[in-house]
Amino acid sequence: MAVSGLGFGLNEEQEQLRREVRAFAEREIAPHVSEWDEKSEFPHAVVKKLGEMGLMGVIFPEELGGSGMGYVEYVLAIEELSRVDGSVGIIVASHNSLCTNHLMLGGNDEQRKRWIPKLASGEWLGSWGLTEPGSGSDAGGMRTTAMKVDGGWLLNGSKTFITNGTYADCALVLAVTDKEKSTHGGISAFLVEKGTKGFRPGKKENKLGLRASDTAELIFENCLIPEENIVGKLGEGFKDAMRVLDGGRISIAALSLGMARGALDAAMKYAQQRRQFGKAISEFQAIQFKLADMATQLDAAWLLTMRAARTKDAGQKVTMEAAMAKLYASEAACRICDEGVQIHGGYGFIKDYPAEKFYRDVKLCTIGEGTSEIQRMVIARELLKGR
């Protein structure tokens, strides 16, 4: 399907990456999507293959085992995976943007050399723990604590809605180290390896969508973390987390693009095949207008996301651009997937067609890594600074 945003401003290497990831997704993921969704089955084998392709370390330097690519390439990869299955897209996005990227941004050279090659190669799967049962948008309300003791830090508390939580080999976790300072110097980041005494995954969530992606609790009970596992400066974990989320929001925009593109592709195909009143429903103006609006919104979202990715690759501050891309792409994707179901009519409500799965999966994009309401707050704050 030809959409003007496709290929706009991409070089040959980037176009080749898009083709390779699309071919992989069609070959290795598409045949299993329905089964994984029905069973909430985590795609272990595919994740390993993605590691072999270099997609578990897209944005990290080659000397640390990564692919040495930028955010433009990262967006293309997440988009193409999510066009077939958003569950796979979010597994890769969370692993790259959150856990591994926090290590890259906040960690010291020794920590990067110790952990990033394992994560970037796909040998290890990573998770990132910020959200708690009582603190979502209000991250400053977190109750997980780390207390200084002989031999390190004693971690107690829990995290919730953690992508890859059950299967992750390590978790980068935010905890309160100074209750008086809270987000202003009182929160620190810790790398907790699987198997650490007192650390375990908790309840695995039974979700509306993205069901092949694992979402679980992380539980810490007198979990002793060595001093060398503090990532970044003591007390600056929250500050680093906000930098991490700038990049993470670009990946959620890419996830939104992929699912919206998949929904539009499915709607186009169905509209050209479905016949009513003696002709394909794609010949009716009502359907044509829906498709036109869907494609226009998708292209606008693509351009906003590419602007954010290129700004990030240029080493510039990307807080507002990432928030705009995430806000618009996620909300546009919800509208596109909604119209996809409508075009399918009754068939859009049954699992024999992909429209209903895109509709269920895409809603997370307006919630994860900062709700739409939080994105509007971020954008307004940046505007009012007089940038």
CB 303 within 8 A of CB 278: no
Distances (CA, A) of 136 to 64, 69, 132, 182: 32, 31, 6, 15
* pLDDT class of 387 with cuts at 50, 70, 90: low
* In contact, 173 and 192? CB cutoff 8 Å: yes
Buried b (16+ CB within 10 A) or exposed e, 355-377: bbbbbbbbbbbbbbbbebebbee
**pLDDT value of position 37:** 98
Take residue 221 and report the two structure tokens written for it: 């009970």
Phi–psi pair at 51, nearest 5 degrees: -65, -40
Report pLDDT for 168: 98
Mean pLDDT of 83-97: 98
pLDDT at 2 over 50: no
Q: What is the pLDDT of residue 3?
A: 43
In the 8-state DSSP scheme, what is residue 46?
Answer: H
Report CA 362 to chain centroid distance, whole Å.
12
| Residue 275, helix vs strand vs coil | strand
Q: How far apart are CA 7 and CA 330, in angstroms?
A: 21
Its pTM stands at: 0.95
Q: For position 242, what pLDDT does the model report? A: 94
What is the DSSP-derived secondary structure letter of residue 8? T
At 182, is the secondary structure helix, strand, or coil?
Answer: coil
Of residues 185 and 4, more confidence is placed in 185
Please write the tens of the pLDDT for every residue from 211-228.
999 999 999 999 999 999
Closest to 162 (Cα-Cα) out of 218, 111, 124, 200:
218
Active site residues: 369
- Whether residue 277 is predicted with pLDDT greater than 60 in this model: the reply is yes
Q: How far apart are CA 100 and CA 106, in angstroms?
A: 10
- Residue 6: predicted pLDDT: 53
For residue range 300-328, what is the model confidence (pLDDT) as tens digits? 999 999 999 999 999 999 999 999 999 99
The letter for the amino acid at 98 is: L
Share of the chain above pLDDT 90, in %: 93
Residue 256: name the closest of 209, 312, 197, 198 by CA.
209
**43, 55, 136, 255, 268 from 368: Cα distances, Å:** 21, 21, 10, 11, 28
Over range 337-355, report the average pLDDT: 98
Tell whether the model's pLDDT for residue 1 goes beyond 80.
Answer: no
Q: Render pLDDT for 121-145 as a digit per residue (tens, 0 to 9).
A: 999 999 999 999 998 888 778 999 9
- CB 93 within 8 Å of CB 77: no
What digits encode the pLDDT tens for the residues 8-36? 689 999 999 999 999 999 999 999 999 99
**208 pLDDT more than 90:** yes
Q: Which of 195, 343, 364 is nearest to 273 (CA)?
A: 343
Q: Which amino acid is at 39?
A: K
Query: Is the confidence at residue 5, as pLDDT, over 60?
Result: no
**Domains observed in the chain:** 12-125 (1.10.540.10), 127-237 (2.40.110.10), 239-385 (1.20.140.10)
3-state secondary structure (DSSP) of residue 354: coil
| pLDDT tens digits for range 348-383 | 999 999 999 999 999 999 999 999 999 999 999 999
* Contact between residue 360 and residue 263 where contact means Cβ atoms under 8 Å apart: no
207 contacts: CB under 8 Å, gap ≥ 6: 40, 215
What pLDDT is stored for residue 4 in this prediction?
Answer: 44
User: Tokens representing 115?
Assistant: 């952990």
138-193 residue pLDDT tens: 877 899 999 999 999 999 999 999 999 999 999 999 999 998 888 888 999 999 99
What is the spatial distance between Cα 368 and Cα 205, in angstroms, rounded to a whole number? 15
Instruction: Give the model's pLDDT for residue 8.
Output: 65
Give the relative orientation of helices 86-93 and 355-362 as an angle to the nearest 10 degrees: 30
